[in-house]
Structure 1
């Protein structure tokens, strides 16, 4: 067989399969050369790591185009993450020179490939495009997804924490620098991906947690018009109460005090922050506890990239196909921080629930407590009570905002489609109570094909689930319909203004996996609409 000639490729034909291996690729900044990764018999992926998509950013300034380079950039290793706190928040890591992306291109397939751009999560505080070491490579390594799904996978860095999201709430320091970085990365992909064999008119952005909320923000921004075609939010949306700063100047003043910029003159304070050691500013940004107090270093309504409250911007999503969902126990990780007794066998939990809800204000206690305790009985079992704590945080932080976002998208859609899901594969984390389902971020390992990449630590059912997710997600990226393309176990119907189906995703997907009440678990507590109404009444941001 003959290879299709390409000016940027070296053609190598293996057996009867036309296999195009990318050699040196010309981008707008200069030439890049990656590595070819073998994925098995007649399968390989070309991997380009550490390509700059923007110049080194100025502090609290918008990203600028990279000036380019001479010669051939050897894109064979990941670059540093953006400056941030470590997981335990005891020190910092990373660099201000951090705006790089990575590209995974499957070989043995045609040109004009769909493109999927991944935005990582991490509370807008930490994370990177190559984050979470996973037995030798990154959890976000896109090789399996690219190879099995026949799509180009791109992962991107962006500024986080105080350097990415500090804001005065006005034009002096408008904020959202991390969102602007994401936008710059997607724009670079739009301008350059054709040279890698991708279709610049078929880009899907997807992300998890803070990355999922970021995906939603990118959809809502007027700057994104025509930039991408589809979007996927996994466990987070812009309407999530933790995903928006309502009083950014208060946070900025708190950071200023921590780093010694103590002054009542705001202009002097901002000047002091500009010249302060960036590590000190980074260490001043730490995660709040309890989690129900929410995050501080997050996007803001800046009147520009996000011109209004997210709930009023869904008209900008009318032409974007949207798929969104949550994990059945997304709230367990955070509930375990706020109420540690839920993971302790002999500890009593009931009294903690009112305290937890009370963080939303006294008016919340009676209505929410009554709704979630309705079926407990006079002497509730402690496992039931502990699961209720998880349900409360799952609903408030993830499920209800996602359902509202799906409704708003479906209401504003002009030909674009909407899809809803619930990921419900039982946790693989050892030592947790038997009632714990799918925790926050547990979906990511399956989407990125870890059961195939590391088969010895998974069972066949995990590979089934991984195959299903890759097929649904990449079908959606290719066609806008998760059921059309690669074979899937059942048809996933769209979410519409009048009908709200969702797909339960686990290793045993059948026709009965399509359901119509997105309350996680067994639906003991209340109807979907009552859950939505209760939380939206208590939180004006929804």
Structure 2
């Protein structure tokens, strides 16, 4: 008996030594040597974390990123680096740095060092105005900490910084200040990952990019750009695509002139004004590029305050995004939205929807529609209102009217553009797969009405494994959901099929095709009935067919004046 115990102890000791030895240690990259930190994940598993590796040099103002010159010795990569210069969440002050083009790598190991793992590169959201690769601290841990996803999914996770706000997306709409600097940063990071990830145990031919909100729109732009052919293999967009109405600047020169005046560049000649802008203080340029919080409760929908965004520059984005899906045909694509993605914005535009005391009136619903559909004029308000109120009946319950407001903004800002992107991808692809989902877990945010389901960005805590890393603030059902999401996402990264891979999933997820439109409802209680078809097709058809064919208000006005 004692001999058996001794053998067991020796075996455990050998395993422990093997687990301790399972690390890359000092890694050779193109810029120099780097060394990270090993984190014990239990069960003889570790995740080796490399924080703050530069993928480009300090960028010049409104210039494309340049290669990093490299460093001497070993770069101790154990601390996150500064975010790119930006406003704080409340937009009262500035933080971050111009020296910000860094990425973080999370590499999982078992008893031996990992090799040829799939790679998942995450692009953060934040309205193209704020955010970072290590954003939003939750009990001392970044929301985008990749260790749980890496460990449970058996993939390398990479999180990336890119320029935002005025320094990332200001543009004149022509070659003088073409814009899209933040997109070029993302492209530079992806190129760096492809060139260097093999040294970290990754497979350079199996890279998936994924992102949420503005990060999802960024993923979409990267798919559509001709510069990314062969650079990655798969893409996931969560609550945002390049076709979203907030994802593209419509009149960049007007915004540039407005920002120029705010930093005292009053020159009437555009070239002189631009020369002045290029000498302006980066901190001042950043603060004047913030959203006007005082205008948020004004007449216009909050969407109209999201000024800074990518542009059609004739280069990185050579044409209207809807015309570029032939570039995306090579990538496997998985996309979806949260069932109440628009609720946050609807609550700002129509505050009564979250009030226990106030009712929401039909006039308020029409007022919201007038703001969203102003390019089509009064006819669109009447038309859209009849579509969204058709199920109300003569005396609708107050909660039904309130939920309708959230549904309108969810459809217009997120769901319909995503469905169009999925259809365009499926129409263009030859061999690559397409998958659609709706994340509809009930909200965990206290104080909201009972009808509120998945709020914007609520999917991220589950995808990044927070119910496992911070177990005390979650319940078993949240861990179930987190496990499902990590399994689907990482299976997709490995094989192009979210149902097929090393991780077991609760329900098989059928692909979305040109003529067949299934989607998976993702929550903690998934069965075969979690697969449904033609997501909100009544409303998708309205926006894509009836609404889009209405004449533009501006053109009607011109014809009237002839």
Tell me if 1:33 matches 2:35. yes
> Who is 1:7 aligned against?
none
> Who is 1:171 aligned against?
175
Q: Note if contact 1:50-1:75 (Cα within 8 Å) is conserved in structure 2.
A: yes
> Equivalent of 2:457, from 426, 438, 441?
441
Which digits, 9 at most, give the CA deviation of each residue in 1:346-386, with x for residues without a partner?
Answer: 11212211111111222320011000001111222111111
Distance 1:13 1:69, change over 3 A: farther
> Who is 2:234 aligned against?
230
> Who is 2:310 aligned against?
299
> Who is 1:353 aligned against?
365
TM-score normalized by the length of structure 2: 0.91
Which stretch of the first structure deviates more once superposed, 165-174 or 38-47?
38-47
Q: Note if contact 1:242-1:294 (Cα within 8 Å) is conserved in structure 2.
A: no
Q: Note if contact 2:15-2:44 (Cα within 8 Å) is conserved in structure 1.
A: no
Shift of 1:13: 5.5
Aligned counterparts of 2:338 and 2:85: Cα–Cα separation in 1? 29
Which digits, 9 at most, give the CA deviation of each residue in 1:44-92, with x for residues without a partner?
Answer: 1000000000000000000000000000001000000000011011111
> Who is 1:161 aligned against?
165
> Equivalent of 2:256, from 252, 258, 264?
252
Aligned positions of 1:31-180 closer than 5 A: 31-108=33-110, 110-180=114-184
Radius of gyration: which is bigger?
2
Which digits, 9 at most, give the CA deviation of each residue in 1:416-464, with x for residues without a partner?
Answer: 0000000000000001100000000000000000000011110100000
> Who is 2:339 aligned against?
328
> Who is 1:3 aligned against?
none
Q: Note if contact 1:292-1:338 (Cα within 8 Å) is conserved in structure 2.
A: no
Aligned counterparts of 1:276 and 1:294: Cα–Cα separation in 2? 23
Q: Note if contact 1:13-1:19 (Cα within 8 Å) is conserved in structure 2.
A: no
Report the number of matched residues.
524
Which digits, 9 at most, give the CA deviation of each residue in 1:165-217, with x for residues without a partner?
Answer: 00000000000000000000000000000000000000000000000000000
Aligned counterparts of 2:369 and 2:192: Cα–Cα separation in 1? 44
Shift of 1:509: 1.0
Structure 2, unpaired ranges of 5+: 1-13, 553-562
Distance 1:95 1:539, change over 3 A: farther
Shift of 1:126: 0.1
Aligned counterparts of 2:325 and 2:224: Cα–Cα separation in 1? 6
Shift of 1:511: 0.8
**Structure 2 residue matching 1:325: 3-state secondary structure:** strand
Q: Note if contact 2:19-2:45 (Cα within 8 Å) is conserved in structure 1.
A: no
**Structure 1 residue matching 2:23: 3-state secondary structure:** strand
Aligned counterparts of 1:430 and 1:508: Cα–Cα separation in 2? 21
Aligned counterparts of 2:176 and 2:77: Cα–Cα separation in 1? 37
Which stretch of the first structure deviates more once superposed, 255-264 or 193-202?
255-264
Pairwise CA RMSD of aligned residues?
A: 1.5
Tell me if 1:504 matches 2:506. no
Shift of 1:41: 2.5
Aligned counterparts of 1:534 and 1:494: Cα–Cα separation in 2? 27
Q: Note if contact 1:368-1:534 (Cα within 8 Å) is conserved in structure 2.
A: no
Structure 1, unpaired ranges of 5+: 1-11
Aligned counterparts of 2:38 and 2:241: Cα–Cα separation in 1? 35
Aligned counterparts of 1:385 and 1:518: Cα–Cα separation in 2? 21
Aligned counterparts of 1:244 and 1:68: Cα–Cα separation in 2? 35
Q: Note if contact 2:195-2:204 (Cα within 8 Å) is conserved in structure 1.
A: yes
> Equivalent of 1:199, from 197, 200, 203?
203
Aligned positions of 1:512-523 closer than 5 A: 512-519=529-536
Tell me if 1:530 matches 2:534. no
Tell me if 1:277 matches 2:281. yes
